[in-house]
Homo-oligomer: A and B are copies of this chain.
Amino acid sequence: MSQPAFWLSKSKFPLNFLRFFLPRKAARASSERASAAMADSSAPTRVMMAVNESSLKGYPHPSISCRAAFDWTLSKLIRSNTGGFHLLFLHVQVPDEDGFDDMDSIYASPEDFHQMKQRDKIRGLHLLEYFVNQCHQLGIKCEAWIRHGDPKEVICSEVKRVHPDLLVVGSRGLGPFQRVFVGTVSEFCVKHAECPVITIKRKANEAPQDPVDD
């Protein structure tokens, strides 16, 4: 019977014995690596969060998904280490986001469009204000800004521009059928964003009865 090439293949020594075979250099390097990893900790971890509005009518507040992702980030990642993190809130406004609300509107002048844009801007700022206020209360440094376009594309291009350490995206936890139509932002970001991505799925009991109200 031929001997497999692997150096441990026929060994029956207990695990502790292995330590004597590890070269000292390797042990030292391992210890240095661990220290180096922790030494990085001086610069705060920059966490980008993509936030969007709830579509509940007349209630311009953060969506259930992005609020859940924010709360999770506070309680599970940042914890008491508020000085160690820097939050970057990005809100991407889709040009026709309010199409359904405005279907009965008639646009007759440039002023109509100006008012529409003004209204969108106020809603976007109000959304970001929610997160900035919470961070301020907790003593967490943050920045917030608005961009326009296709959320998944804009989020990935902003990651490329801003170089966060981590991107957090909420996910509505849709089934495979619904996902075909609406739920692909988080999946796209996991694949294409040039930084580690964390997807926070919404809990089943947090889903609104009507998916349009998410």
Contact = CB atoms under 8 A, between A and B. Distances in A.
Given A34-B74, A45-B77, A137-B34, A5 B57 contact: yes
B199 A18 contact: no
Given A115-B10, A200-B196, A71 B190 contact: no
A30 B198 contact: no
Contact of A108 (B1, B138, B190): B1
State how many copies of this chain the complex holds: 2
Nearest to A195: B201
A79 B7 CA distance: 36
A75 B37 contact: yes
Contacts of A211: none
A8 B196 contact: no
A4 B122 contact: no
A96 interface: no
B1 A74 contact: no
Interface size of A as a range = 35 or more
A153 interface: no
Interface in A69-85: 71-72, 74-77, 79-81, 84
A58 interface: yes
B196 A197 contact: no
Contacts of A13: 122
Contacts of A138: 34, 38
Nearest to A129: B15
